[in-house]
A and B are shown apart, each in its own frame.
Chain A
């Protein structure tokens, strides 16, 4: 089960390329079983409240194909999270890996050099991580019973294909990261309505004591059994929160701020879902006449004026010749 309870959001990605994850220690597995790797993209630290996303990859280190029989939500996968040497337990109502019906496992072959995996926010299972030094590790076991109850994965298994029996246990490498506390120096806030359930939540534009802007989305009320939601997105922009122009929804926050280089301004677009932040330089929207028109319009006017003047002069000349003279 992943974010918003959508099992399909765990995208089963098969990639033939080799990805080198941030490996802090070597993974281990039984012979003839999967190799399991965990990565957080090499990030060393997070601010408290930031989404901590880990990638979990299954790969086949041997020559023979292996059968992976797991749920779309990676049922059977366990995550060990340790803070400052002590085990962290899931929050009440936190969604662990594999909280769906185990009989709905799907089996498919994984060939050599192939990787299978997905991304999972740790905060979904463990809530907002308190400041400290963390290690995370994944563990996966597969029994004959798991294989018997599994259905062939549509599109990946041919109709009469017999899949090899693959059983064993794999323990992933360990990934280390730090969660840092932050202090607000000044805060501007706005109440918004959540798109999903219409609930009210608060968006805060915060200038931290270190002078950096960050955006925090806080649910005013928690959903049944879940910890109140807090999503913090750092922007990497050093600016004062005073005098900026801003607006926020449940999903995005836009901040127009002075860059500090003369009169220049930039637009900060902060996305809660991705989560990401990008600063876009703004230019003056001064509309100008297209170059062709600028040349053509005065030229056309000049030609018309000269034409009219010449015709007028010719007519006057003719009239003066035809008129009787008073000799």
Chain B
């Protein structure tokens, strides 16, 4: 509880600083380290509830000397802390989520040369769970500890804001798949839905519930807006969804492959085959 309140105060102070910076001219970087910490959301428009929220983080050495830093599990320095608030309140990770996308294990000291960049994409959904509907503000702060070989100081990122908005299905088709253990025992169920929202967006959603557990694993992936699904075909599994549009006037079908773990959408164009028959020439009989 004490820890939470400390976090809340620290987060509030940090976000106030961030918003202050933004109002006073939107400085992209501050702190006494010659590092520019940039954070951006993968999408400029609002996220729909259940969509994976991905941030791109870049740390650039814009000084004239190398900067020593503690290497963490990924590409980024370990002292980097993420502050996230929803509707002005410190946002707490949901049950089963660490809220720390980088881990706490140091992997030695490294140097970031002048002009070099450390870059990484992180999933907020992975670290915090599915983000509830609301307006979010995010910022990063790098505090370098007093370790040998590490350049002491702080760096603060630009602020980023995004919205997670609610949606309702105007029409949908779905199927339910049992989740089984390797020994065959049913441990839950996943409902996959192909839905059109009241605002006309097309989505694939996966909702997994495990027997005896209160938590629900939910994921929504937005489909290309021009996808024609009326009279189309589909197949869904726990991890993938395939949607084939009806043939267009050129006799082609669009195939969309949606991957739940990576939230990726791949569009393929299926063409009608025009096969060439293979003629097998038999050897002419020779007279001896």
B227, chain A: closest CB distance, angstroms: 10
Say yes or no: is A168 at the interface (Cβ < 8 Å to chain B): no
The digit string for B164-182, where 1 denotes a CB below 8 A from any CB of A, is: 0000011111010000000
B275/A188 in contact, CB under 8 A: yes
Does A256 lie within 8 Å of B255, measured CB to CB? yes
Question: For residue A188, which residues in chain B have a CB less than 8 angstroms away from its CB?
Answer: 273-276
- Residues facing B in A220-272 (CB within 8 A) are 241-247, 254, 256, 265, 267, 269
Q: Let me know if A281 and B278 touch, CB within 8 A.
A: no
**Interface residues of chain A: helix, strand, loop or mixed (majority):** strand
Does B120 belong to the interface (CB within 8 Å)? no
Using CB atoms and an 8 Å cutoff, list the residues of chain A in contact with chain B.
183-188, 205, 207, 241-247, 254, 256, 265, 267, 269, 280-290, 293
Is the beta-carbon distance between A285 and B273 smaller than 8 angstroms? no
Given A186-B278, A188-B276, A245 and B194 contact (CB-CB distance below 8 Å) = no
Which B residues touch A246, using CB under 8 A? 270-271, 273
**CB distance B273 to A283 under 8 Å?**
no
Q: List 24 A-B contacts (CB under 8 A).
A: A186-B275, A186-B277, A187-B276, A187-B278, A241-B275, A243-B273, A244-B272, A245-B252, A245-B273, A247-B269, A254-B270, A256-B233, A267-B233, A267-B235, A267-B242, A280-B242, A283-B175, A283-B235, A285-B229, A285-B230, A285-B243, A290-B169, A290-B171, A290-B172
List A contacts of B244 (CB < 8 A): 245, 256, 267, 282
B194, B247, B271: the one within 8 Å of A285 (CB): B194
How far, in whole Å, are A184 and B278 apart by their CA atoms in the complex?
6
**Pairs A-B, 10 closest by C-beta atoms:** A245-B270, A287-B171, A188-B273, A282-B233, A285-B234, A186-B275, A188-B275, A280-B235, A285-B232, A184-B278
Contacts of B273 in A (CB 8 A): 188, 205, 241-246
Query: For the complex, what is the distance from the CA of A188 to the CA of B277, rounded to whole Å?
Result: 9
Chain A positions within 8 Å of B253 at CB level: 245, 256
Residue of A nearest to B277 (CB): A186
Q: Which B140-186 residues have C-beta < 8 A from chain A?
A: 169-173, 175
In the complex, how many angstroms separate the beta carbon of A145 from the nearest chain B beta carbon? 34
Chain A residues contacting B268 (CB-CB under 8 Å) are 247, 254
A110 CB → nearest B CB, Å: 26
CB interface residues, B 257-284, toward A, < 8 Å: 257, 268-278, 280
Rounded to whole Å, the gap between the CB of B210 and the closest CB of chain A is 24
Contact B275 A288 (CB under 8 A): no
Residues from chain A with a CB closer than 8 A to the CB of B169 are 290
Give residues of chain B (211-270) contacting chain A, Cβ–Cβ below 8 Å.
229-235, 237, 242-244, 247, 252-253, 255, 257, 268-270
Contacts of A280 in B (CB 8 A): 235, 237, 242
B234, B243, B257 — most chain A CB neighbours (10 Å): B234
Cβ of B196 under 8 Å from chain A: yes
For the complex, is B195 an interface residue (Cβ under 8 Å from A)? Answer: yes
Q: A183-B278, A254-B257, A285-B231 are in contact. List 12 more A-B contacts (CB 8 A).
A: A186-B276, A186-B278, A188-B275, A242-B273, A244-B272, A244-B273, A245-B252, A245-B270, A267-B233, A280-B235, A285-B194, A287-B173
- Tell me, in angstroms, the Cα distance from A242 to B273 when the chains sit together: 6
B275:A287 contact, CB within 8 angstroms? no
Chain B residues, Cβ within 8 Å of A184: 278
Chain B residues closer than 8 Å to A185, beta-carbon distance: 277-278
CA distance A269 to B270 in the complex (A): 13
User: In the docked arrangement, what's the CA distance between A59 and B152, Å?
Assistant: 52
Bound form: Cα–Cα A281–B237 in Å: 11
Query: What is the minimal beta-carbon distance from B256 to any residue of chain A, in angstroms?
Result: 11
B90 to chain A, nearest CB (A): 35
Q: State whether B171 touches A256 (Cβ < 8 A).
A: no
CA distance A188 to B275 in the complex (A): 4
A280 to B276, CA, bound (A): 26
B142 to chain A, nearest CB (A): 30
Query: Which of A243, A269, A287, A290 sits near B272, CB closer than 8 Å?
Result: A243
Which residues of chain A are within 8 angstroms of B229 by Cβ–Cβ distance? 285, 287
CB of A202, distance to nearest CB on chain B (Å): 13
A217 and B212 CA atoms in complex are apart in Å by: 47
- Cα separation A207 to B252 with both chains bound (whole Å): 21
Whether A187 and B275, one on each chain, are in contact in the complex, defined by CB atoms closer than 8 angstroms, is: yes
Whole-angstrom CA separation of A272 from B204 in the bound complex? 27
Bound together, the chains give a CA A267 to CA B275 distance in angstroms of 18
Contact B278 A286 (CB under 8 A): no
Closest to B202 in A: A287
Q: Which residues of B contact A256 (CB under 8 A)?
A: 233, 244, 253, 255, 270
Find chain B residues with CB under 8 A from A205 CB. Answer: 273, 275
CA distance in complex: A163, B169 (Å): 64
Contacts of A245 on B, CB cut-off 8 Å? Answer: 244, 247, 252-253, 270-273
Residue from the list B194, B232, B272, B280 in contact with A183, Cβ < 8 A? B280
